[in-house]
Each structure stands twice: as C-alpha cells, then as structure tokens.
Amino acid sequence: MALRDIHVDDDPVLRKKSRRVDQINARVLTLLDDMMETLRHQDGVGLAAPQVGVLRRAVVIDTGEDVLEMINPEIVEQEGEETGKEGCLSLPGLLGVVPRPARVLARYTDRDGGQREVEGEGLLARAICHEVDHLNGILFTDRAVEMVEPEEDEDEGE
C-alpha cells in the first residue's frame, strides 16, 4: 500500500466524469488499498478515485462505523432531505452547507466482484452522495447553499 497525492482546487481531473471499472484486477485492488490508506492518513470520511488522479468509478468510505470499498456505485433510491456541513480533502479550508438525501440505497460491486447494496442514513448517506458526485465531476461547492468560514464553524462548537 502507498499514500497517494490528493488532487486539489482547480485540478481539471476533479471535473471529469469517471469511467466504469470493467474488470477487477490487481491494479484496481491496489487502487482501493492505496485510497483507504490515504483516506485514513488524511483523517477523512471518503475518497473517490478522481481525487487521486484516477478516472475510474471507485470510492472508499470510513465513517468510523461503516467502512466501504465501492466499485461502480449507483444510488438507486433516496428519500428525505438533510442539510449539513461538508468539507472535502480536495478543497482544503472550504466548508459548505449542503442539502443531501436523508437516506440512500446504493448498489455497487465489492473487491471480490460481488454485487452489494448498502442503505445509509445521516453521515453514511451524505458520504455516499458526496463520493458519487466526485465520480461525475461534481464538487460539494456546486451543491452548497451557503459557504461557511472554518473559523465560524469552530466558534459554534465552543
């Protein structure tokens, strides 16, 4: 496993649509391993392949309760709406208020080629939506209804 560089700010790769993973091979498995190591090193919640410069439909998520490696994820159901704060490893220093579904059902392929479904609420639903957006070249700032200064957010927590 290795740490990968995270592409940030105006890097054009962040705005491109990722291609499906057609075959799970050693390169894809290494990508998933490296992404998870990079995510944990950065103390993040989710990371999509475009954020490490790979235009493939793969994401990793670690909410502290749920750990997922998702290949070709699709959101197949969503309901409700919750508005909450989001940041992104590719947009350091930015924080926005973003509406997302309160619950999602996503289908994906796991690292062994198995077809899986996961239902997520709260943080997991938000993370799945955020990472699937990355695969489509969409950043949280595109969906934010308000941007918040990180210093303001720290003051609220006191």
Distance, in Å, from the CA atom of 81 to the CA atom of 5, rounded to the nearest integer, reads 33
- 3-state SS class at 114: coil
Backbone angles phi, psi at 18, to 5 degrees: -80, 150
Q: Give the catalytic positions in this structure.
A: 131
Q: Return the residue matching tokens 């493939």.
A: 56
